[in-house]
Structure 1
Amino acid sequence: MKTIEIDEELYQFIAGQTKHIGENASSILRRLLKIDQPTLAKQNITAQKESHYTPFNDLLTSDTFTNEKSIINRFILLLSALYNYNPALFAIAATSLHGSKRQYLAKDKQLLETSGKNTKPREIIGTPYWVISNTNTARKQYIIESIMSDMGISETMINQVTNAFLP
């Protein structure tokens, strides 16, 4: 899998062409450019359309998540689940998300450290990403909501996740 940088307008266009939750950027572009999907990808898309299951269902009800009292640890667990749900869409959402002075997520810890004072970068377990942890709970919730929205996840699921975010 390759990573490319695109401008915000193009990203919004691609994200707006999503037909179903979990459709990755490659599938969207293949569909728009009328390039045949690989057979395995076609099977995965059909399975995703027929299933109402999301990996968040298991996470939100897991003992690990429900017993975790630390907001930062819940934050990391959710970001990890989002990455594992769709790494390609997560990459697009993560690179476009930032504050006026700070970068919130990056693949490089040092980039986050230089983007602001006391950012306290934390590794998102199971991913190549780091996230700043020195933000208030409302900002963490905003980061989760923004990434989920940019990934094309339904408003219902976003609300379910954000409601479960606070212990």
Structure 2
Amino acid sequence: MKSIQIEDDLYHFIASQTQDIGESASDILRRLVMPESLLNTDNKSVSEKVTPDSTVTNPISNTQSADSICQSAAVFSELEGQQLQAIPKIVERWLLVLSIIHKHNTQQFAKVLGMSGRNRTYFATDKDTLLGTGSSTNPKNVPGSDYWVITNNNTAKKINMLKEVAEQVGFKSAEIQQLIEIFAPEHIE
């Protein structure tokens, strides 16, 4: 096996193309740059599955655009470079994680607008909408986005909201658990 050095932006792009947990950089690059005819049948790309009738299929449907695929790998890659535990205020840490999820899942992030509790709307595209849903919502802008979120919740509620956001944009359950462990390891039971 050979090693190569690549710049950070290229690394983040490659990581954002991950389709399965544990997929190696070699598998991703092979899938992206090597024509099907060059792929060895013993070394199939992780994105391909052999069905019982021995035909090769792609698990991503043709109707699904690349922009609609959850970019959880890119989120985790960017979170690796952050020192989340060095951010003492949970609300600031939470806003940073929401910002990174939004950055890599812009189209899917719109689904959070449907999130609400009994009496409160959790996300909106303007501050006034959230102020209108309660007297102590303390709305803050999700950095780098047009979205606002209520922040006057305890840490347990923020964790639950983060789980729901991750689910809305398409994270798998194992990825959601990993995200929570990164966000607030001191609050994991």
Report the TM-score when normalising by structure 1.
Answer: 0.67
Residue equivalent to 1:25: none
Write out the 4+ residue segments of structure 1 that deviate beyond 3 Å after TM superposition.
Answer: none
Q: What is the CA–CA distance in structure 2 between the aligned matches of 1:61 and 1:141, rounded to whole Å? A: 21
Residue equivalent to 1:76: 95
Structure of higher RCO (CA pairs closer than 8 Å, 6+ residues apart): 1
Report the residue type matching 2:162 in the other structure.
Answer: I
Task: Rate the CA distance shift 1:119–1:56 in 2: closer, same or farther, 3 A.
Answer: same
Taking only the aligned residue pairs, the percentage that are identical comes to 28
Superposition map of 1:1-167 within 5 A: 31=63, 41=66, 53-63=73-83, 65-92=84-111, 94-166=112-184
Whether the 8 Å CA contact 1:60–1:161 is kept in 2: the answer is no
Task: Rate the CA distance shift 1:62–1:100 in 2: closer, same or farther, 3 A.
Answer: same
- Over alpha carbons, which structure has the higher Rg? 2
Report the residue type matching 2:79 in the other structure.
Answer: L
> Residue by residue, what CA displacement relative to the aligned partner does 1:64-113 show, whole Å, maximum 9, x if unpaired?
x2311110011101110111111111102x11111111001111100000
Quote how far apart the aligned CAs of 1:30 are.
7.0
Task: Rate the CA distance shift 1:98–1:29 in 2: closer, same or farther, 3 A.
Answer: farther
Whether the 8 Å CA contact 1:148–1:158 is kept in 2: the answer is yes
Task: Rate the CA distance shift 1:52–1:124 in 2: closer, same or farther, 3 A.
Answer: closer
Quote how far apart the aligned CAs of 1:146 are.
0.4
Give the count of matched residue pairs: 128
Task: Report the secondary structure of 1:53's partner residue.
Answer: helix
Q: What is the CA–CA distance in structure 1 between the aligned matches of 2:179 and 2:131, rounded to whole Å? A: 28
Whether the 8 Å CA contact 1:60–1:66 is kept in 2: the answer is no
Task: Rate the CA distance shift 1:95–1:52 in 2: closer, same or farther, 3 A.
Answer: closer
- Is the helix fraction higher in 1 or 2? 1
Task: Report the secondary structure of 1:69's partner residue.
Answer: coil
Quote how far apart the aligned CAs of 1:133 are.
0.7
Report the TM-score when normalising by structure 2.
Answer: 0.59
Report the residue type matching 1:69 in the other structure.
Answer: P
Task: Report the secondary structure of 2:140's partner residue.
Answer: strand
**RMSD of aligned residue pairs (Cα, Å):** 2.9
Report the residue type matching 1:82 in the other structure.
Answer: I
Whether the 8 Å CA contact 1:56–1:81 is kept in 2: the answer is no
Name which of structure 1's ranges 148-157 and 96-105 shifts more when overlaid on structure 2.
148-157
